Structure 1
Amino acid sequence: METTTAILLRKTKLTETSLIVTWFTEANGKIQTVAKGARQPKSRFAGLLDLFFDCEIQFMRSRKSELHILREVVLRNPHEGLRLDYTRVALAAYFVELIELVTEPDHPARELHDLLMRAFGHLNEKPASLKALLHFESELARLLGILGQENVTPAVAIGRAYHRLPQARPGLLKMLK
């Protein structure tokens, strides 16, 4: 059994009663867990599994696959301020897409976890802004070691290194101008 702090990145229906939950953890990087019974009305996970939640999770590592069993979730910060308007949610979702793009399963990346936590903390307190988007991209490129390799913007550097950027970026740029 392992315990770590984690940010909920994505939820996907697995069965009528269970979910696959993708987390970005401090200790293990990006992992996927099965939350058995999470879709049932009286689930032990009720109210604890929502996008962008900062939690402490306990999971049992699978020996056969990259899909682990979620045992316990303790909510640390729901980032309620982040949910105040659509633009904040859209920017947070963009940050999550970037993190998913640049990380591999089960590869610890504490600096990237800290960056995402700081970004969510910022959006929890302040409105979404173009400055926040550009700062996140710049910090991400710097942490990945791809900033300054060429005379290009951080977004272009990320796009070149990972062969794409999230599709939401152009619409988000329009929204934030």
Structure 2
Amino acid sequence: MVELLNGVLLRRIRFSNTSLILTWFTDLHGKIKVIARGALRSGSPFAGKLDLFFHCELLLAFSRRSEIHQLREVAIKTTFSGIRASYLKASAAAYFVELVESVTEPEHSAPEIYRLLLRAFDYLDRRSPDAKVVHFFESELCKCLGLYTPGLRSAAERIREAYGQLPETRAALMAQL
């Protein structure tokens, strides 16, 4: 089955000399893994289109036998280039990605989390992060996950309680803010 989706690139892993395994968070299917065959060849139609945090339109061929699907086409919608201009912005975006990856299941639709990631990346593209931004993201993620209870504990504590831990990158990020 071939399907057109929108997604944010969360992770890139080299699969072979010419191919990549990509983790996307999509509007319709949540977190999915995709193989981009030939992506590293010179002259590849994917050249320059598969960078972290890119928001893209994807044409995917879904596999019936595997959790890894095939990327057929990709078109960039937004690069969020401002995130790459600052180590602090990139660190915040990386923490948001790690957090979302740790609390979501593969191929489970979560359009509210997809929209939250886009809002966070749009903010980081234009402004520098601070502790308030991190706390806000965690709080909004808790709302999306049904963990939100106002007042008693911080969102980070609720996530830690529900999922066992927070990404290690959080402590380093908070120390920089």
What value does the CA root-mean-square deviation take over the aligned residues? 1.1
Amino acid of the residue matched to residue 112 of structure 1? I
Match of 2:82 in 1: 81
Q: Which runs of 5+ in 1 are unaligned?
A: none
Match in the other structure for 1:106: 107
Task: Read off the aligned partner of 2:22 and give its amino acid letter.
Answer: V
SS at match of 2:106: coil
Name the CA distance, whole Å, in 1 between partners of 2:65 and 2:144.
32
Deviations 1:6-36 (A, max 9, x none): 0000000111110001000001101011000
Q: How many angstroms apart in 1 are the aligned matches of 2:91 and 2:35?
A: 26
Q: How does 1:11-160 map to 2 (within 5 A)?
A: 11-148=12-149, 151-160=152-161
SS, match of residue 152 in structure 2: coil
Normalised TM-score (structure 1): 0.97
Shift of 1:122: 0.3
> Aligned partners of 1:29, 1:46: CA distance in 2, in Å?
24
1:81-108 per-residue CA deviation (whole Å, 9 max, x = no partner) reads 1111100000000000011011111110
TM-score if structure 2 supplies the norm length? Answer: 0.97
Identity %: 45
Secondary structure at the counterpart of residue 62 of structure 1: coil
Post-superposition shift, 1:150? 8.1
* Count of residues in correspondence between the two structures: 176
The equivalent of 2:173 in structure 1 is 172
Partner secondary structure for residue 65 of structure 1: coil
Deviating above 2 A after TM superposition, structure 1's stretches of 4 or more consecutive aligned residues are none
What is the distance in 1 between the residues matched to 2:169 and 2:22? 22
- Aligned counterparts of 1:143 and 1:16: Cα–Cα separation in 2: 38
1:22 and 1:138 mapped to 2: Cα distance?
Answer: 24
